Structure 1
């Protein structure tokens, strides 16, 4: 690890031009301050919103943060001795005199207002009539804070310049490319239902996670070398507790991050092992297959964007070197030469130098959704016995149709049934009925996912029985976390989740700064003893989206791939 201090110069850019009626030349006078009418703490009060909204006031404060073209924050140290009230306030002004800079003591006259959305809006002075610079180069105030902080505790620090002496952890970085991240005061955070039961336990953990989470705006001069991977420890964090129109967000003015020097390759498969990988492709749409047809309905907006996505997926396939790929979010446009499936086969052949094929259901029935699941395999190592089978109707009008394919390892190896799934997501929630969000931590559409899981698990056993094997591997994006009903149902059907003993460590997805597992591998009792190793390769979920990353397979999707290595028993039959 290398210590990389990240300066905060971008927060201190001066905003130019005057806004006082008497200051038409764009310069602010440096003079003695006129009398204030109220301390800032009195204007703020001890409630989520000021009791002085609509009143005209004059306040004094030192400039701690200037936001270009929007306004600035001022702070009055020791404004009062009540810890429940903030000593700072936001001044809404699109033009600020050039003499005003960080450390200037200002007298500001304006109307008290609450701006922004959410339960805790930002107390501000608007319709500003006077901004007078009284002195310059004043020491910047600083208050030590520590997590956890509930809503009222954050409100008491609103607009103030604060620092955290304890080490924090990067948890959320999805919008790192836009300069936003989330830090945590209690290390890695997990989606509640990943580690506790749905219901009151999940609600309590969610409240705790939120209290320990700190949304931040990061310095603009961070580069790819400074990428904050989820889990990165950070120190010396300080800044102004600003507002992003939705929530209070720390505008970071200093931070020291330990940036990873390298990124781990996946563990190789043993020489005698059959490697099966579950992989969410994050909407693999290849346009019309001939370089046109962009933007696509769900995937790449342009050919260049698709080619970049394709290259990253190809690099991941090359690094993993699988023998079977069970994929989700593949464009559902059939199996013709211009299809996404054909394109993915070509990609796999190019990066591995081996022959690949795709399984095809009877009548090529892959359902009516824009995306589908798919099974690709090394045709030099495996034989697909018959067509793949799909499960249709009912709950699979919401969940994508699963596919099951019976494989035999060549030349005369054992059979294994591989089933790939993509259950209904937690999005597009209904407003009423059993499928609405029940506020137990499982999100909406839980009954659909539960019914899908139960029906799929029973169906997989029947397909395997008909194929003469008890070796079953169930893969897929289940859109449910480890302790949620659909995952419990698959376990209850007699399947073992291969990373269950890593609860609280394993994850395949990061949502709002919280880790969890959505992508699973379940083995039947007969197959379990033939599993050599199973792991989740964390190369996607911990990394920010839409930024340049140093290694070609990083962030090829928003889900991490699941890897299972099998050493199948030799077949004892000749059929």
Structure 2
């Protein structure tokens, strides 16, 4: 290497030169202090560095202002370089030295560690960079990294002067092994020769079109990595771009069908990294290049020559269906494929950043959403999910594209939601960044199979609605310059965007009670996060629907940066008593893993049942619980699963003696994981799956599942009319959220709307309930029974008619036993909206014993429904029966001779249990037939249930003669089926009136 090559040329007359000509050309982050930066002039005019105020600035550890600055001076000739090295680098002229003497200038700016950004400035304007200023991370992609590697600038690359975009190595740099320094001091990817210039490439020997060439299918099996070969094949995918438009900077070629081998496990296609010579799909090209691997995939690079040999038909596209038979698609790498199915689309977490979606045959669910962990079924579903996925890429190498190539009309108002469908997917298979992917060569047809909904879809509405909403770090304190522990918006603009989306969602839900998660834990004052949110929501609602916060008797709920909260509409519900915080293990301050649960009892303003709401946020799957002996066990449940299970058990125990309990929140556990099974064992029901078989509220690795749940005890479950996950967030691409970083001006304009969609990363859970009173079952606390009589006991349902009510009853002995009455049991049933009376018949047995009053008890309990019992026990008092007899009412009666028709009463002294008759004789005595008229024999009858007097009839004759008193006798001589009483005759005396 010639050290003079990198010295600055002397001053001379200079013409104007663009700042874009001077760029960072090499970056060395080697072992120990072996670090260097090379600056080069890529223009055709010399540049006076001092007059343009060129500076190299170091931004350590994510700083936004320079931590070290190196002023550049002198004149840099076209093609020349300027090198700065770390002052402690190993420099010398022996074999132990890494950087030769005289190659570089020592500078404190060369003090970076792979996660520090460098910026080249001219007149305080960013010209070029390595890394992203203001971000602390090791930048890497496709095996290239700013840590422990050498990066050399691609000759065709453009300045990287937009710091709002993420730093992408592969778009402008080629990477080399750690401590590679043989290119330091000259422009280009080649090593420098002894004169300080690049080593000339070898002379091309490409031959002519049609000459023998290397078969693509032999490349992987032939172990020819690093060798220069010649291939001749058809262009099947053109992603060259021009080196600056962020395509893949190359093209795919595939052999014509006639040139395929018989081995289905070898590929007939390959990617060619080359964009200097434009090609088009359908051209047969002959390429001389070097076999290489990039990011795990095969490619040809360092193209020495390229010939266009004409046009021909495209090779056949291989039909590919999901699920795959094998995840390994190397046998299709670089080849055309066609996917004939109607496929489910799930935009990846990287959809707006890298344009990636996942295609599958139907929605993929987390295995532990469907089956308990460690079961064969869960393992089988996890394996099936891996085969039922294929990445659809956008054919670009850039980040945060303004347009998604396979869905070019994407915007905040025209989203590509998870659950959309695609048909006609065609493209080329390639492997990069650890995944096989389809680079599309045609625009697929997109079907909006999962449209947005304006409000939660509930089939039935009651008089109470409750929601659970994770608001994704809603902080009023801003995390400016990433310099604080605040987790929400970084700027005032982001905060306004975030709040507008959350408010839009909450106004549309309009739930009477809302449980909140991930809200800043900064109290309840006017400037707190929860009050700020309430004020913004209330500004969009009529006064009758305004919210207030549940405020526990503390300033902060626990010690975490985030907390749970409850807000409610006082016009609909009222808070009963003070809120409670559950601080028992594992919610204690020493364990400090979960957010402290908040509990409040409510009652309906317009009457009805009271209920409890408990809002929760359990520790996440990604948290570290190793110190508690609770690591990730590899069963799909993540870290801290034991902690979450303990939390579920503690929460269940807290409510074991309470009724009408609703548990809400982000439990960080899928539906069939251990914590949710613990709730189920304690008698709680997971509500949404009761109404939606395939419920989900969240995506991770493009697999759906529910981390957010609403759980109710049996009493409250009976009142749930519907429950749903409102899919406004999980199905939406992340790029639609409130964040402004890593977005171009076009993205900021097109990807944001102040609507509910992507207000958070979790879907809200919404529940509709009927909290009307079920009423009170009323019955007399005491009743009398008579031996030999069946009596009726009347039950009434008062003050409410919600739902079906079943009352169990059982007669139990006191000092009366089974010989005195029937010890019956059974149930009384009222249907929903039924307020009728129910009658229970109780039979007391007759006997011949004089026992006095005896006692038994009717025991009552609610078997079903939430009605109350006015009494739970009825006292049954059994009286001895009086013998049933027939008697004459009186032994004697007097009548006037002028009385005419008279009635002589015969009395039954009890209630006839069947038809009862009595017979009498009317017998003359001193009165004869001329003194009265009456049938000699008469019968009187009482029907069943009758009692009291029946009459024997006679007519008195006024003979107008003066006579002494006369009388006749009415004799009771028989009765059936009862006996005769004490008075068996009545003497009737006729008083003379002459």
- Sort the TM-score into its range (normalised by shorter chain): 0.7 to 0.9
2:415 alignment partner in structure 1: 227
Q: Mind listing any 5+ residue stretches in structure 2 that lack a counterpart?
A: 1-154, 158-187, 191-199, 244-248, 395-403, 737-750, 777-867, 869-994
CA apart distance, 1:305: 2.0
CA RMSD, aligned part only?
A: 3.2
In structure 1, distance between residues paired with 2:687 and 2:669 = 16
After superposition, the C-alpha distances for 1:170-209 in whole angstroms (9 at most, x for unaligned) are 1344333235343444211111111122124322211211
Q: Pick one of 704, 713, 724 that aligns with 1:524.
A: 713
CA apart distance, 1:235: 0.5
Compared CA separation, residues 132 and 480, structure 1 to 2 (3 A): same
Whether 1:424 aligns to 2:619 is yes
Q: Pick one of 49, 57, 74 that aligns with 2:229.
A: 57
1:146 alignment partner in structure 2: 321
Whether 1:214 aligns to 2:394 is no
1:158 alignment partner in structure 2: 333
2:631 alignment partner in structure 1: 436
In structure 2, distance between residues paired with 1:349 and 1:292 = 31
Contact 1:295 1:301 in 2 (8 A): no
In structure 1, distance between residues paired with 2:378 and 2:462 = 42
1:96 alignment partner in structure 2: 276
Contact 2:692 2:724 in 1 (8 A): no
Which has the larger Rg?
2
Aligned residues between the structures: 535
Whether 1:124 aligns to 2:302 is no
2:424 alignment partner in structure 1: 236
Compared CA separation, residues 270 and 551, structure 1 to 2 (3 A): farther
**Greater helix fraction, Structure 1 or Structure 2:** 1
Secondary structure, in 3 states, of the residue corresponding to 1:488? Answer: helix
Compared CA separation, residues 430 and 89, structure 1 to 2 (3 A): farther
In structure 2, distance between residues paired with 1:203 and 1:67 = 42
Contact 1:336 1:342 in 2 (8 A): yes
1:82 alignment partner in structure 2: 263
In structure 1, distance between residues paired with 2:461 and 2:648 = 34
CA apart distance, 1:449: 0.9
Contact 1:214 1:250 in 2 (8 A): yes
Q: Mind listing any 5+ residue stretches in structure 1 that lack a counterpart?
A: 1-14, 465-469
2:62 alignment partner in structure 1: none
After superposition, the C-alpha distances for 1:25-59 in whole angstroms (9 at most, x for unaligned) are xxx9x9942745420001033xxxx7332333222
CA apart distance, 1:361: 2.2
After superposition, the C-alpha distances for 1:49-94 in whole angstroms (9 at most, x for unaligned) are x73323332222222232433322211134312110111112223x
Within 5 Å, which residues of 2 pair with 1:339-488? 339-353=528-542, 354-392=545-583, 394-396=585-587, 397-410=592-605, 412-429=607-624, 434-461=629-656, 464=658, 470-488=659-677
Q: Pick one of 761, 766, 770 that aligns with 1:558.
A: 761
In structure 1, distance between residues paired with 2:312 and 2:497 = 49
In structure 2, distance between residues paired with 1:42 and 1:504 = 50
Higher relative contact order (CA 8 A, sep 6+): 1
Whether 1:277 aligns to 2:467 is yes
Q: Pick one of 41, 48, 69 that aligns with 2:217.
A: 41
CA apart distance, 1:252: 1.6
In structure 2, distance between residues paired with 1:417 and 1:433 = 31
Contact 2:213 2:232 in 1 (8 A): no
CA apart distance, 1:110: 2.8
Secondary structure, in 3 states, of the residue corresponding to 1:44? Answer: helix
Which stretch shifts more, 444-453 or 76-85? 76-85
Within 5 Å, which residues of 2 pair with 1:501-512? 501-502=690-691, 504-512=693-701
Contact 1:115 1:245 in 2 (8 A): no
Whether 1:312 aligns to 2:501 is yes
Compared CA separation, residues 292 and 425, structure 1 to 2 (3 A): closer
TM-score by length of 1: 0.85
In structure 2, distance between residues paired with 1:529 and 1:67 = 63
TM-score by length of 2: 0.50
Q: Pick one of 339, 342, 348 that aligns with 1:167.
A: 342
In structure 2, distance between residues paired with 1:106 and 1:226 = 40
Contact 2:582 2:596 in 1 (8 A): yes
In structure 2, distance between residues paired with 1:319 and 1:527 = 25
Secondary structure, in 3 states, of the residue corresponding to 1:461? Answer: coil
In structure 2, distance between residues paired with 1:202 and 1:144 = 30
Compared CA separation, residues 112 and 452, structure 1 to 2 (3 A): same
1:256 alignment partner in structure 2: 445
In structure 1, distance between residues paired with 2:337 and 2:485 = 45
In structure 2, distance between residues paired with 1:356 and 1:541 = 26
Whether 1:107 aligns to 2:286 is yes
Contact 1:420 1:476 in 2 (8 A): yes
In structure 2, distance between residues paired with 1:129 and 1:223 = 40
Q: Pick one of 456, 480, 483 that aligns with 1:266.
A: 456
Within 5 Å, which residues of 2 pair with 1:559-574? 559-570=762-773
Whether 1:71 aligns to 2:250 is yes
1:538 alignment partner in structure 2: 727
After superposition, the C-alpha distances for 1:324-358 in whole angstroms (9 at most, x for unaligned) are 01011111111121111111111221222233211
1:4 alignment partner in structure 2: none
In structure 2, distance between residues paired with 1:295 and 1:35 = 65
Within 5 Å, which residues of 2 pair with 1:177-192? 177-178=352-353, 180-192=355-367
CA apart distance, 1:523: 0.8
Whether 1:202 aligns to 2:383 is no
Contact 1:41 1:80 in 2 (8 A): yes
Contact 2:522 2:555 in 1 (8 A): no
After superposition, the C-alpha distances for 1:470-490 in whole angstroms (9 at most, x for unaligned) are 110001111111110000001
Compared CA separation, residues 481 and 271, structure 1 to 2 (3 A): closer
Secondary structure, in 3 states, of the residue corresponding to 1:156? Answer: helix
Contact 1:173 1:543 in 2 (8 A): no
CA apart distance, 1:133: 2.6
Contact 2:584 2:650 in 1 (8 A): no
CA apart distance, 1:438: 1.4
Contact 2:417 2:450 in 1 (8 A): no
Secondary structure, in 3 states, of the residue corresponding to 1:372? Answer: strand
Secondary structure, in 3 states, of the residue corresponding to 2:635? Answer: coil
After superposition, the C-alpha distances for 1:214-242 in whole angstroms (9 at most, x for unaligned) are 11114532323653211112101001112
Secondary structure, in 3 states, of the residue corresponding to 2:533? Answer: helix
Contact 2:424 2:445 in 1 (8 A): yes
In structure 1, distance between residues paired with 2:418 and 2:478 = 36
Which stretch shifts more, 69-78 or 526-535? 69-78
